[in-house]
A and B are shown apart, each in its own frame.
Chain A
Amino acid sequence: MNAYAGTATLTRLAFRRDRVMIASWVIGITAVVLGSAKSFASLYDTPAKRASLAQSTNDNASLRAFYGPVFGWDGTGALTAWRFTVVGAALAGLMAAFIVVRHTRDDEETGRHELVAAGAVGRRAPLTAALLTACGAGLALGLAAALGLAAAAQDGAGAWVFGLGLAAGAAVFGSVAAVTAQVVETGRSARGLAGAVLGAAFVLRAAGDAATDDASSPLVWASPLGWIENARPYAGDRWWVLLAPLGFAAVCAVVAYTLAARRDLGAGLVAGRPGPPVGSPALSGPFGLAWRLHRGALAAWAAGFVVVGGVYGGLADSVADLVKDNQAVTDVITRMGGQSRITDAWLASAVSFLGLLAAVYAVQCVLRLRGEETSGRAEPVLAGAVGRTRWAGSHLAFAALGPAVLLAVGGLAIGLAHGSRAPELAGAALAQLPAVWTVAAAAAALFGLAPRATGAAWALIAVCVALGMLGEAIQLPQAVMNLSPFTHLPKLPGAPVELLPYALLTAAAALLGAAALTGTRRRDLAG
């Protein structure tokens, strides 16, 4: 049929453009699944321990809300599937949504789509190629995770249902994104809307699981993630439940095609609204501009910190119940949190997690600076009476102060959800700042001294995340752990406060920041 002409070529092109991204998602998610299978195998090595974990989870509404009920506990596979079927499907969905938006709305926005549409390419080909790419990536992820889990759990049957669940997550949210990409005008909003649908699906499922302990609540059945949960890998293997998400994905795809046929290239169903014809007085310098460019993202991140902090804080008491009979788990949590009181250890690991997230935000702010430069938007600003330091400073201010806002908000949210110690927890979260600043300043130094390598800042983040989340659990040597600035922070709340690490990290950040600004003043501006 003519409408699909060129689909194969476009799909190949999309896989080529995305091969690194897809490979990173697949390897990353599979590695996390395998890592946790490994630790379940060693920490819950007897039927008694597994049964007690299942019992205390199923008895606790907030744990059920977060992880879902435990349907089966006769082996490592069952526990891993309990922990990762929903989360893995959500992550697969996120990957698929990104892929679909990237090859539909993003391409329309940049004009690449026009270039393609002018060639011998059918009307439906770009959307079809995007969906095929997303589903292909989902299948690759499902296959890798299933093979890995089958090997790690030494039990194959459930692993296939688990892998199919992940692929179904990709199909559902990939096609949801295909719809949102038709509805709004920018890739950013299309991703945001698809993410909101995913969040809503997660919340529905969580609410339903909090209400019932066997995932039978209508709320669970109202959520695509709830359907995937109910496939129950290693606990009945009800693979036919997965027909529901696949059907839902098919319906979404039909809706997306219908909408696409009814709108103009580049336009959305929701037209962009006109804005003010003159600039407000606040928009009068590089800082005013930076505020306009960063405020939306900062608000969204702050909302995310409230949610994450709230979840961690809300679980704090349940966690103590959950692990009180399992010495090995208690050991891991106290190693990560660094203290003997299990609740403090849990709160401290929550605070460290917020610190890592804040570093991601800060690095994004620095990369924004590079984006302004390479897109040519920095040029007219610097051709005004604006020095390089002021221009760079306007964005770096967000890299430095944005994390302070986020950590304060996140720390307060932990405290409020936990029901006590809010000021102390906000302080503990803010104490992450020197490490966040060190990472941000290192990224800025890359921007100032080796601008082409600014993207390598993500590698810094990857190292910090890997060491912070897995290092203690797999007991890496201290010399390796010391590579991450976060290792050097006292584990608050609970641990004694030492000033020296804070002073040293702040000094390192200041030095790197100075190098960044000096480099920025001296180098050519890319155009």
Chain B
Amino acid sequence: MTTAIDATGVRKTFGRTVALDGLDLTVREGEVHGFLGPNGAGKSTTIRVLLGLLRTDGGDVRVLGGDPWRDAVALHRRIAYVPGDVTLWRNLTGGEVIDLLGRLRGGLDPARRAALVERFELDPTKKGRAYSKGNRQKVALVAALASDADLLILDEPTSGLDPLMEAVFRRCVAEERDRGRTVLLSSHILSEVEALCDRVSIIRQGRTVEAGTLSELRHLTRTSVSAELAGPPDGLARLTGVHDLAVDGNHVRLQADSDRIGDVLRVLVESGVRSLTSSPPTLEELFLRHYRDEADDEAGAAR
């Protein structure tokens, strides 16, 4: 067994809304997998399918070797989950909820629980209604991290945490990975994904548009080049793989597909290079490109 989650061609519709439209997701055992996509892309829906809370309309899903719908109870002993929106029972304290959720999963480690409560600076004696959003999230995080689950499924777990707590969260996830746990982390915080994730999947409108390690993905992206030339450039516009070309006298700015950078340099050298800066693609740009394509698609569809 080397895959913790293996989903292929998953479809899920809510009435007329197609939430998942042939989604693929592979998470290997022991990795931290980033799960990204714009609002409404279907991340939470996918996670709810993986937990057997929703039934699919098509496709295959295996989680830890089992069928998440049929084997839900058995699988859930090995899965810990932090929802994106944590709602607590108003008359239960945070400490009680942590213990309850842990016991529902088959128990949690009291020493780890105590350590995590300390690290997240959580007051476990407050009643559910008295917690802020971030503190509610901490309750769910402590319950999940203190358990002995093989697979952690975290749906935007840090959206309410302050930067200090966000750092604690990162250290905790790194420790979990070192202990051999598998983590599926849905997030909109790119620095968090970059810091934690071995591989990522990007989805859009219910479909997987990109999946791989971060360096593989970087490879697919564009390098920005800015150069001061001896004379006006020649032939750049004709090159495939050149985007957003801006020529201002002898000054050139452009984006080049990463596997075309050699061709671009050759053309630039022909005109004589005075100075050159090239910046490697950031994850930001990669995501923005995928996210923006959607906006473009929608604009196109609307027209």
Contacts and interface: CB of A to CB of B under 8 A. Distances in A.
> How many residues of B sit at the interface, in one of the four size bands?
35 or more
B72 A284 contact: no
A376 B99 contact: no
A521 to B, nearest CB: 10
A381 B125 CA distance: 21
A375 B97 CA distance: 16
Interface stretch (B84-92, B170-178, B189-197, B216-224): B84-92
A273 to B, nearest CB: 8
Contacts of B72: 382, 387
A376 to B, nearest CB: 4
A527 interface: yes
A286 interface: yes
Contacts of A523: 55
A475 B243 CA distance: 84
B91 A383 contact: no
A275 B98 contact: no
B51 interface: yes
B77 interface: yes
B87 A285 contact: no
Contact of A524 (B53, B97, B98, B129): B53
Interface stretch (B29-37, B102-110, B277-285): B102-110
A279 B76 contact: no
Interface string A506-527: 0000000000000000111101
Interface string B28-56: 00000000000000001000100101110
A185 interface: yes
A283 interface: yes
A119 interface: no
Interface in A285-301: 285-286, 288-289, 292-293, 296
Interface string A374-389: 0111011111111100
B81 A279 contact: no
A450 to B, nearest CB: 14
Contacts of B239: none
Contact of A380 (B81, B99, B123): B81
B53 A384 contact: no
Contacts of B77: 385
Interface centre among A185, A276, A380 (most CB of B within 10 A): A380
A384 B105 contact: yes
Nearest to A267: B130
Interface residues of A, number: 37
A383 B79 contact: yes
Contacts of B87: 375-377
A293 B76 CA distance: 23
A277 B124 contact: yes
Interface in B80-137: 81, 83, 85-93, 95-101, 103-106, 123-127, 129-130
B262 to A, nearest CB: 49
B74 interface: yes
B269 interface: no
B140 interface: yes
Nearest to B125: A274
Contacts of B124: 277-278
B129 A186 contact: yes
Given A377-B89, A525-B53, A384 B101 contact: yes
Contacts of B48: 379, 525, 527
B82 to A, nearest CB: 8
Given A384-B105, A386-B73, A279 B51 contact: no
Contact of A279 (B95, B127, B130): B95
A364 to B, nearest CB: 16
A272 B127 contact: yes
A284 B127 contact: no
A274 B91 contact: no
Contacts of A525: 48, 53-54
Nearest to B12: A524
B188 to A, nearest CB: 19
Contacts of B97: 279
Contacts of B85: 376
A118 B117 CA distance: 33
23 contacts: A272-B130, A274-B123, A275-B93, A275-B127, A276-B125, A279-B96, A279-B97, A279-B103, A283-B99, A283-B103, A285-B104, A292-B89, A379-B53, A380-B83, A380-B140, A382-B72, A383-B76, A383-B81, A384-B104, A385-B105, A523-B55, A524-B53, A524-B54
Given A275-B126, A275-B127, A283-B92, 17 more contacts: A272-B127, A274-B125, A276-B125, A279-B103, A283-B99, A292-B91, A377-B87, A380-B81, A381-B101, A382-B51, A383-B53, A384-B76, A386-B73, A386-B104, A387-B72, A524-B54, A525-B54
Interface of B: 44, 48, 51, 53-55, 72-74, 76-77, 79, 81, 83, 85-93, 95-101, 103-106, 123-127, 129-130, 140, 143
